[in-house]
Each structure stands twice: as C-alpha cells, then as structure tokens.
Amino acid sequence: LAKASFLTPNEHEVAELFPDLELEQALRAYPNKLIVTEGKLGALFCDGTQIKRVATFSVDALDTTGAGDTFNAAFAVAMAEGQGIEPSMRFANAAAALSVTKLGAQGGMPERAAVERLLNHE
C-alpha cells in the first residue's frame, strides 16, 4: 500500500487482504487510504482519528453487477476534481446506488447528471 493512493476493497475482499486484522484495525492501519465498501450500508474509512461511515442512498436494487466498479470510477472522478475523501465517497455512493437500479455493469453506469440529481434530492 505504500505506493497506492487508495485501496477500495469490499467487506469480503478486505478480510482476504488483511486476514490477521479486524476491519477496524485495518482501517486504522491505513488512514485516509483504505476505503471499505459495504453495499447498502455505504462505505467506511478512517480519517486518522475516527472511523467514519459514509451512508449510501436507499434504492430498489435490481442488479449489483458493476456497483464496485461504478463506486471506484466515481470516486476517482470526484477526487480528481479536488472534492476530498468524504465528499468523493458520497458522490461514489450515489453513483453506485444508481448503478444497481439497472441491469448489467455497463448499462447500470449512471450519467453524471443523474448522480447530481440524487445528491441534490436527499
């Protein structure tokens, strides 16, 4: 992880990556670097002081294929725009939430306007 800016495993992958650490220990070991996605529960990270959960959005899920890829893509876009970790996670959660309302990985990838509408209507 020394050369990685961020690592974004889901709750199952983090257990495989850090088999000797509990989730909280792993998050604290890599503050502002390890972001763990937990599906409808949102995503977790440690800001160096405390572990924070960034909530997702309540939607009627149809197909979760591609939700993690959507999260990662949206997170990267928001970070590249200078939004910071927590706002970028929120943007990514909105995109991932929208992605599960449609079938397939590519078909579920939302357009930015839809993500912004969801963020503005909470």
Q: What is the pLDDT of residues 48-90, one digit of tens each?
A: 999 999 999 999 998 888 999 999 999 999 999 999 999 999 9
The reported pLDDT for the residue numbered 64 is 87
Q: Given 3-state DSSP classes, what are the helix, strand and coil percentages for the chain, each rounded to the nearest 5?
A: 50, 10, 40
For the chain, give every domain's residue range: 11-120
Instruction: Extract the runs of DSSP E, i.e. beta strands, from 1-122.
Output: 35-37, 43-46, 51-54
Given a cut of 90, whether residue 103 has pLDDT beyond it is no
Known active-site residue 20: no
Catalytic residue among 20, 47, 63, 69: 69
pLDDT tens-digit readout, 15-60 = 999 999 999 999 999 999 999 999 999 999 999 999 999 999 999 9
What is the phi/psi pair of residue 96, to 5°? -65, -40
Q: What angle do CA 103, 104, 108 make, to 5 degrees?
A: 75
Fold of 11-120: UDP-N-acetylmuramoyl-L-alanine:D-glutamate ligase (3.40.1190)
Given a cut of 80, whether residue 112 has pLDDT beyond it is yes
